[in-house]
Structure 1
């Protein structure tokens, strides 16, 4: 007993700082860099492929079969029907349920490599064939799944914490390529996954390294290949300069944030209804939803001077031209766009697979353009607040909403930033008031077949 009393106490467990000084962490950084390169190239290939599918089916093929003036109104119907069948196959027959249900928000659960074929097939059919969803969710799955696969090829018995770091690094790289910004990727992924505490740097440093490489790939692929990444990489909008906010703009921003949130919550609720109906009936619901989406696009084109593409697709290609030419959009046309694309988006959220971010941005921008007709509310802050409110209402990621809106309006000056922050806070609180706790708990459960990452990752809550 005396010997035990005289023995020195055991060494305390090594903390994150000590771990980052080790050679093992340096090796982890090198591995993250390699993962960043591989994932960035594959993510670029995925985005380029979806873009080429869209161009081939909706632009080139109609000309090849004799429609020199563009595709007829009905053209999207059979394409969207095929999209529904392919997505239903991925959901019902392949591992992973085709990815997470987008009506449940942006999920950060760990994607197993065996699930990647089904996730990517559903994403290609959804995004490439014109459904109203974006690529960020499948890119998150692709980056995370490839990071885990790469690690397991090197060391099958790697600890779960290392697998989490590699998955995060792959995800950072893939998302940064989409947004052309490692900072935006870091903000979104940290907030969505709930990472925090003293171990955050252990995940953040490899992730930032991979994200920086992803941004370099995004910037360099255009010059290396001769293909433009502007078709799928998000960049700042061309908006009028806005120096400083006014009292009138502040008041309108609050009202706009509330209105956008109410609309976004209604759309997501409808999407969750579609998701419940689709559960176990994918081969019926997804093709039918595809036809309905096509019908909504045709109805919009028939009642306005715009084409079906404004309702179809995720809206990423439409935001810039729409906000750069507000005079070309009447108040009635904007209202119809919000109504028809909102309905198409709700069907997409429940029946298909993809990301909800870009449709939210476009509809928020459209609502902002409508609000800009109000006295004392300039176009730039109206669009900025509309986009930010829509993002936070759908994703429940307030810091990400602020960062995205500031990034997209950066060219117009810093005057809109305070209004963006106020709008995000108001929208977030409004969404909380409108949320049903039971539905929120369901949303946090993640997609069937998509296991959560160890302890540090959890799904981001979203509205009902």
Structure 2
């Protein structure tokens, strides 16, 4: 065997089959954890926004109730972050999806913090905390299998399974992790290295489907035949959306520093909740929560909102996302970004004559997701799946290239703490 052949020879079939069993279990378990937390959050949400306000002669749309609930949720999350063992895990604003897992001791406090945020109307998604929870559980439960599944691989499988469950398809995990897996040292082709993560992601996606989990797939009017002008029109929408994401990423660290200068989480998270309450009053209930159901509402009735309303929704949601992420709430930034991109896409559809609605929405979502994640695969995937029209993929593959040139040197939508701040977090 030549040296080149030796470096490309992957793991044996038997080894992959053996390792696929725990990979499938990790994927299914990751989906189950996500589903349980979703159910807890939905139950609490129903009580907070439907049952409880009726006792005070209010409803979920009453302005003062929106303010009270979000302020109270800020107080409770702040108390968890300041006083509970594990302190709600690492600040979600400072980590990517593939962050190292927290200590197992932190898991209960992360569960409480993310459940409160999801139920209370905070403009953050579940992705970062759920991945942290699943990674910590998987590493702890499979500690005795380190010879078969090293801890780093277990973490990768937990991330894969969670992403598969979040987006209800293993394709999302494959696209997100292609770069990570491709950079891993060791023998084998890319598909050898993707085999176990795809098994975990597939198990997570199937389990979530069986449990009746949410989906990001909607259906809009098909685009029809491709026309050359669509490239220009789509780029305008995608570039504008990416510009909004770039501006948000530039403001993010300043806002984060301002909130954290108050030192105590119970103070700055409560303040953040109050600000979110005011924003909720301005933007209305459609600008609350993680944004998936609200995205569906926009796409179900795309002609029900004026250009001014869509601009208001997008603007309020951008500020709400930045405030929530800066003020110590635990949650991810992808789902709110999808809502913002959808609103911007519909705004483009309302203002630009001749652009198909499916292309406008796909480009709006792709632009801001690209700016937020710096991941072209993820941005295009969400754009296509959201509108339910695979025809737009060919155009997105071209439009993404100039938009990437706009975002590649722009700041990320993540806060990088200074060295002394990292030391404080670690302690």
TM-score bracket for the superposition, by shorter chain length: 0.7 to 0.9
Maintained 8 Å contact 1:143/1:170 = yes
TM-score calculated relative to the size of structure 2: 0.87
In the alignment, what sits opposite 2:195? 205
The aligned runs of 1:280-299 (5 Å cut-off) are 280-299=263-282
CA distance in 2, matches of 1:92, 1:64: 31
- Once the two structures are superposed, residues 8-50 of structure 1 have per-residue CA deviations (whole angstroms, 9 ceiling, x without a partner) of xxx99x8684533454x44322222222232222221112211
Specify the structure having the higher radius of gyration (Cα): 1
Counterpart in the other structure of 1:221:
211
What pairs up with 1:234-245 in 2 under 5 angstroms? 234-245=215-226
Partner of 1:269: 250
After superposition, give the CA deviation of every residue in 1:210-254 in whole Å (9 maximum; x if it has no partner).
2222122112123xxxxxx3xxx2232221011233233211222
Change (3 A) 1:320 1:49: same
Are the aligned partners of 1:173 and 1:215 in contact in 2 as well (CA < 8 Å)? yes
TM-score (normalised: structure 1)? 0.81
Q: Is the 8 A contact 2:10 2:192 kept in 1?
A: no
Q: Superposed, which structure 2 residues align to 1:242-257 within 5 Å? A: 242-257=223-238
Q: Which segments of structure 1 move beyond 6 Å, counting only runs of 4 or more?
A: 443-451
1:170 and 2:144 matched: no
Q: Decide whether the 8 Å contact of 1:389 with 1:423 is kept in 2.
A: no
Note the C-alpha offset of 1:319.
Answer: 1.0
Give 5+ residue unaligned stretches, structure 2.
none
With 350-359 and 263-272 compared, the bigger mean Cα shift is at 263-272
* 1:367 CA displacement: 0.8
| Distance 1:237-1:249 versus aligned 2 partners, 3 A rule | same
Q: Is 1:95–1:449's contact at 8 Å kept on the other side of the alignment?
A: no
What residue number does 1:423 align with? Answer: 399
Q: State the partner residue of 1:45.
A: 36
Q: Quote the Cα distance in structure 1 between the aligned partners of 2:61 and 2:278.
A: 15
**3-state DSSP class of the match of 2:355?**
coil
Size of the aligned set, in residue pairs, is 416
Q: Does the aligned pair in 2 maintain the 1:101–1:275 contact within 8 Å?
A: no
**Which of 384, 408, 421 is the aligned partner of 1:432?**
408
Per-residue deviation at 1:104?
4.5
Question: Quick check: 1:180 aligned with 2:178?
Answer: no
- Structure 1, unaligned stretches of length 5 or more? 1-10, 223-228, 301-307, 452-464
- The question of 1:391 aligning with 2:369 is answered yes
The one of 309, 318, 342 aligned to 2:318: 342
> Following the alignment from structure 2 to structure 1, what is the Cα–Cα distance between the partners of residues 367 and 286?
21
Structure 1 residues 86 and 94: alpha-carbon distance in aligned structure 2, compared to 1, 3 A threshold: same
**Residue of 55, 62, 68 corresponding to 1:72:** 62
Kept in 2: contact 1:28–1:206 (CA 8 A):
yes
After superposition, the Cα gap between the structure-2 partners of 1:391 and 1:277, relative to the gap in structure 1 and judged at 3 Å, is same
Change (3 A) 1:375 1:18: closer
> Residues 81 and 266 of structure 2 are in contact (CA less than 8 Å); yes or no, is this contact kept in structure 1?
no
Cα RMSD (Å) of the superposition? Answer: 3.1
| 1:57 paired residue number | 48
8 Å Cα contact 1:238/1:320 also seen in 2: no
Structure 2: how far apart are the matches of 1:368 and 1:401?
14
Using the alignment, how far apart are the partners of 1:387 and 1:174 within structure 2?
21
Shift of 1:408: 1.6
Matched, 1:29 2:20: yes
